[in-house]
Amino acid sequence: MLKFSREAVAIGDFSIRFYGMLIALGVLLGVLLARSREQRLGVRRDTSLDLALVCVPAAIVGSRLYYVAFSWEIYRDDLLKIFSLREGGMAIYGGVLAGILAGWIFCRVRKLPFWKLADLAAPSIPLGQAIGRWGNFLNQEAFGTRVGNPSLQWFPLSVYIESDGAWHLATFFYESVWCFLIVAFLLIFERRKKFRLTGDMFLWYVLLYALGRALIEGLRTDSLMVAGFRASQLVAAALFVLAGVVLLVRRKLRF
């Protein structure tokens, strides 16, 4: 018997969670977007698929390890729980960082220009993030602080969380919209040839995503913490500064 719910599609005892389906959809659309741009960037056909086969598994592992590292108290007494992905526990920054590292290794092994492939992946990454964030809506997670004012209790400004019985800021939605705007910005500027150097497109993705994430993370109630600070805000601030500095230095030295 086929039944449809907010959490999963179930056929008998077998179920597929919507969160996983949305991540898979985001990956698929990201690969298709990258493939459509291969010729424009002078990249060999199907490079996008080869890159995805390396980076996506690395991103999944990285997102899990990042979450485990900042939630060690949950796993230290039962290490096997680390491998129980169905219980949740993924952090997008870990996935992005691991994916970038895997992409760099891929380029070194294949002797391909890293900055060119980074530009190839640049709009695909936020596209996948924008779609994947809707899994948080279905899982009722990654929401913000409580909204007590009844006049503000409407979606998409806020979202009703059943487990808490209250309305909260819909921070997952804010980030999804921000990521879609990043995709649009990157593609429009690429069409208009606004990026001067190969790699600038990717660096602008890092800069813009870090800016949005730093602001939105401050509204959330489930942030991973380190030394009393929100881990994602620290990472976002570091990446924002790093991307900005690299953009300026590359423009001066043209590398």
Note the pLDDT of residue 6. 56
pLDDT, one tens digit per residue, over 186-236 is 999 999 999 999 999 999 999 999 999 999 999 998 888 888 889 999 999
With a pLDDT cut of 70, the percent of the chain lying above it is 91
Asked if the bond preceding 113 is cis, omega within 30° of 0, the reply is: no
Letter for the amino acid at 109? Answer: V
pLDDT, one tens digit per residue, over 75-131 is 887 787 778 766 667 888 899 999 999 999 999 999 999 999 999 999 999 999 999
Residues 6+ apart with CB under 8 A from 77: none
Q: Is the pLDDT of residue 49 over 50?
A: yes
Q: Is the pLDDT of residue 1 over 60?
A: no
For residues 138-155, average pLDDT = 93
Q: What are phi and psi of 167, to 5 degrees?
A: -90, 140
If one counts every other C-beta atom within 10 angstroms of the C-beta of residue 211, the result is 18
pLDDT, one tens digit per residue, over 243-253 is 999 999 998 88
Is residue 223 exposed (0-12), middle (13-18) or buried (19+ Cβ within 10 Å)?
Answer: middle
Q: Is the pLDDT of residue 14 over 90?
A: no
Note the pLDDT of residue 228. 86
